[in-house]
Chain A
């Protein structure tokens, strides 16, 4: 009797052991990614949808077994746009053993630049500041830098302006984020770009820009290139419309045509400025849901799957979040496909090999993502959009700014 019990117990134990071992053999690995961004606080209007883009895509990858049995664990932390908090979050991520990091603000990306190099970890920031790349090996911009965007807009002005040299004013954020592209645009002008910068305005928190608009008008400014966030641009263009100086088509004589880089435009600008946003020219490296395509269809499907509202589903910040997560997951997939262990080093290697035939097209961007040892700007092409009828519509084909390579 006693022997029988021992035998039964042994068999049950063996079965449990086999099940447990089989389970662990098929459990797969979990790769840790992380992002620290402004879910609350300043710029959270961009950070919040961005975080949801990252989160939803990672959920999609795990739910649809894009990496087979392997999973991605992406830690998303709010830093309320404070560099000290970003630093704290980054320390936590390192303790958790992340293999790739996605950062957010320009300030924190610049502040942590040395840490990224020291830790030898690839970083995909939401800040496209060209200065991020200076003296840094591990920061990789997902789309063209702000400098490239501003030069691209200036080229569009130079190519489409009639009657001699275009008089341009720059309307920028009072920080390194805003100031960065000015110097590069000046270099492009020195290299032959046919525009004249009449004035560079660092905006404050003005609720009325009448005096500034009148001043710019008296200086003969016909184009305003904005590089800041949406709300000051909305105030500016609403005032311009009120004063009757907004151009109804590109380059209308005696009026001002407004153009802006990535963080100035999108649906949020239209929501803030209403019909004053009409005829606003905006450039970014992302596809918009107002211009249907494979990537935007996927974005809308993803948003629907995870119960997101229309506003979020159509936000280009949601697209940006999806895109960085796409790049991160694709890098992991490639490392696995090449038989490498997924580590900080192997992912960095894979990112730098993402060029030529190995470039990656996430379909959510205006062109493929390419990185190499010398090229740390992912997508090279920009798309110009124009606000018309309350939505941004594509204006011509995606383009690569010509003067960017000339000033390097």
Chain B
């Protein structure tokens, strides 16, 4: 039995329940709660421009989406190349509600948390449906099935007048306790909303992974036949993994649409699906912390390359379209380098750092 709840050193688990604690030590608890408090507090202390706030909000939206992708690809081991389409389902759900009821409808402007939740549920239903082939397909074949969904989604949005043929479908500004959230506060407000969703999602996923429903995802990923022999239903588990991924993606999509005040197909393209996959790989597949690190790293990199290629575009001749090539080149290079040198992603660096402090005062 642990006698010191502040250090992991010298403490041994004597029950499974103890091993599944969310916070192993009080230091863990203190660190996480301090980090969350800091994340909520810093925008109140430091003044950020709308542009920078929008960048941060975009990273947070990607975090929610990558949490979903990690459920299906990281924890359940099912490759999904159509994740942006699931995000798009959420965004277009919110946009369709606005188009059907009118932009100023109270549900959209005042009950927006319900709209986000509903978009998540629609994402879950579509995710579960798209996941049905997972009952029969594996590996590359399943990847192609998800790619098909991405293609069908893009085509449907691009050609159906119901979806404005891919052009932006507008969403209204929302109301909060203080009244209408105008441009000045828009990104600031959505920062707190998305952060709250991330905190709740993070704890929900952490808790889920402590339950049999979470463990069966990993069991099916590691060996679905063995999982079957142990009494789990691999087919159902895979479909449910897709539904979970669709739920998080749907919520991310609705928040993206509210943040950008509209849904347009361009934000949910195949390229974006690949970006989400890159975020999950760079962050660390099958880890919750990887879902936070990946989007931040990739989007930060993207911003730097964007600046670099814009600069290159101004000094290079218009006929030498080298600047355009810089972005995909850098993006691809980073993924390849991570796959070669750190396949477990940034989350592994975090794990090593934590282990060092966990074992302190002994040497790592």
Binding site for B on A (CB under 8 A): 39-41, 44-45, 48-49, 51-52, 76-78, 80, 82-85, 87-89, 91-92, 94-95, 106-107, 110-111, 114-115, 118-119, 174-176, 179, 309, 311-312, 315
Contacts and interface: CB of A to CB of B under 8 A. Distances in A.
Interface stretch (B1-9, B28-36, B126-134, B321-329): B321-329
B260 A84 contact: yes
Contacts of A176: 164-167
Interface stretch (B135-143, B218-226, B306-314, B356-364): B306-314
A107 B260 contact: no
A114 B324 contact: no
A88 B51 contact: yes
Contacts of A39: 310, 313-314, 323
A324 B155 CA distance: 35
B166 A175 contact: yes
Contact of A92 (B51, B58, B260, B319): B51
A175 B165 contact: yes
Interface string B81-108: 0000000000000000000000000000
Contacts of B183: 94, 115, 118-119
B310 A77 contact: yes
Contact of A40 (B49, B170, B187, B309): B309
B324 A107 contact: no
A91 B186 CA distance: 11
A45 B54 contact: no
List 10 tightest A-B contacts by C-beta distance, closest first: A78-B310, A111-B168, A92-B51, A39-B313, A48-B318, A91-B50, A40-B324, A40-B323, A176-B167, A91-B51
Given A77-B310, A95-B50, A83 B168 contact: yes
Give the interface SS of chain B, mostly helix, strand, loop or mixed.
Answer: helix
Nearest to B263: A111
B153 to A, nearest CB: 16
A83 B267 contact: yes
B264 interface: yes
Given A111-B168, A176-B165, A84 B49 contact: no
B261 A40 contact: no
B162 interface: no
A110 B266 CA distance: 13
Given A44-B321, A83-B266, A175-B165, 8 more contacts: A39-B314, A44-B318, A78-B310, A80-B324, A84-B260, A84-B266, A92-B50, A111-B168
Given A80-B327, A114-B170, A87 B317 contact: no
A180 B309 CA distance: 32
20 contacts: A39-B310, A39-B313, A40-B310, A44-B313, A44-B323, A45-B318, A78-B306, A78-B309, A80-B324, A83-B264, A83-B266, A83-B267, A84-B58, A87-B54, A91-B50, A91-B187, A92-B50, A114-B170, A114-B262, A175-B158
A119 B261 CA distance: 14
Contacts of B167: 106-107, 110-111, 175-176
Nearest to A176: B167
Contact of B317 (A85, A110, A111, A309): A309
Contact of A41 (B261, B262, B324): B324
B324 A84 contact: no
B55 A88 contact: yes
Contacts of A76: 314
A88 B54 contact: yes
A111 B50 CA distance: 18
Contacts of A315: 318
Interface of B: 49-51, 54-55, 58, 158, 164-168, 170, 183, 187, 260-262, 264, 266-267, 306, 309-310, 312-314, 317-319, 321, 323-324, 326-327
B321 A45 contact: yes
Given A84-B58, A107-B264, A94 B309 contact: no
- Of A52, A87, A174, most buried by chain B (CB within 10 Å of CB) is A87
A80 to B, nearest CB: 7
A8 B309 CA distance: 55
Contacts of B55: 88
B323 A311 contact: no
A111 B165 CA distance: 13
A87 B260 contact: yes
Nearest to A94: B50
B35 to A, nearest CB: 26
- Of A40, A111, A311, most buried by chain B (CB within 10 Å of CB) is A40
Contacts of B264: 83, 107, 111
A40 B266 CA distance: 16
B306 A174 contact: no
Nearest to B309: A40
Contacts of A40: 309-310, 312-313, 321, 323-324, 326-327
A82 B54 CA distance: 15
Contacts of A174: 158
A51 B314 CA distance: 9
A55 B261 CA distance: 30
Contacts of A92: 49-51
Contacts of A107: 167-168, 264, 266
Contacts of A309: 317
Contacts of B260: 83-84, 87, 111
A95 B165 contact: no
Contacts of B313: 39-40, 44, 48, 78
Contacts of A87: 54, 260
Contacts of A85: 306
A39 B311 CA distance: 10
- Of B168, B309, B310, B319, most buried by chain A (CB within 10 Å of CB) is B168
A317 to B, nearest CB: 9
Contacts of A83: 168, 260, 264, 266-267
Given A78-B310, A83-B267, A311-B319, A44 B324 contact: yes
A51 B58 CA distance: 27
A45 B306 CA distance: 17
Contacts of A80: 306, 309, 324, 327
A204 to B, nearest CB: 11
Contacts of A77: 310
Contacts of A311: 317-319
B130 to A, nearest CB: 24
A83 B183 CA distance: 18
A118 B261 CA distance: 12
B31 to A, nearest CB: 32
Nearest to A89: B51
A40 B312 CA distance: 9
Contacts of B187: 91
B272 to A, nearest CB: 10
A309 B167 CA distance: 36
- Of B267, B317, B318, most buried by chain A (CB within 10 Å of CB) is B318
